Structure 1
Amino acid sequence: MKSNTTINTSEAARIAKRLLNHWKHKFEVSETAEKLSIFMPDATVNLIPKSDILWVSIESTLTDLSHLEKVVLDHLNRMAQQEFIVTWQHE
């Protein structure tokens, strides 16, 4: 199952880096110039910061990603210190 969304923000790189640093003590992470990845037991979260958006994708073996979407968004909101309203697209 795959789910993704975009967040409109001019601070995409900072927010993505803060989330990666927050979760690197709990999960394996990877960082390249284009993409930051967080490897959870049942899912991989990919963050791709652009100049005015943060593209977020969750790939998982789970059939219901709603809880994971909420957890990821809650943490992104906390890292950004603001509330993002997003719509997740499922593939």
Structure 2
Amino acid sequence: MKTNTSINTQEAQRIAKRLLNHWKHKFEVSESDQLMSIFMPEATVEMHIHPDHLEVVLVTEKEDYQHLQKVIIDHLDRMAQQQFEVTWSAPH
């Protein structure tokens, strides 16, 4: 199952990097200029860096994927020190 959201921000690189650094002690991560990935036991979070937004993709087989979506956005809010209003795509 895959779902995604787009966060309007001029600071996509900084926010994604902060989240990657926050979780790298707990999960395996990978990083490039345009893509940062976090590999959790039951999910993968991909953060695609764009000049005017951050695209977040969640890939998981968990039934409770909405909980993961909330955890990801809560952490991104903390990393950015602001509240993002997001709408996730329907799972596919």
Q: Same fold (TM over 0.5)?
A: yes
Segments of 5+ residues of structure 2 without an aligned counterpart are none
> Which amino acid is the alignment partner of residue 63 of structure 2?
T
Q: Per-residue CA shift, 1:49-78, capped at 9, x if unaligned?
A: 110000000001113310000000000000
Segments of 5+ residues of structure 1 without an aligned counterpart are none
Counterparts of 1:22 and 1:3 in 2: how far apart (Å)? 22
SS in 2 for 1:51: coil
SS in 2 for 1:21: helix
Under a length normalisation based on structure 2, what TM-score does the superposition of the two structures give?
A: 0.96
Q: Per-residue CA shift, 1:11-55, capped at 9, x if unaligned?
A: 000000000000000000001122000000000000011100000
2:3 aligned partner: 3
2:15 aligned partner: 15
Under a length normalisation based on structure 1, what TM-score does the superposition of the two structures give?
A: 0.97
Q: Sequence identity, in percent?
A: 60
| Alpha-carbon RMSD | 0.7
2:28 aligned partner: 28
Q: Runs of 4+ in structure 1 displaced over 2 angstroms?
A: none
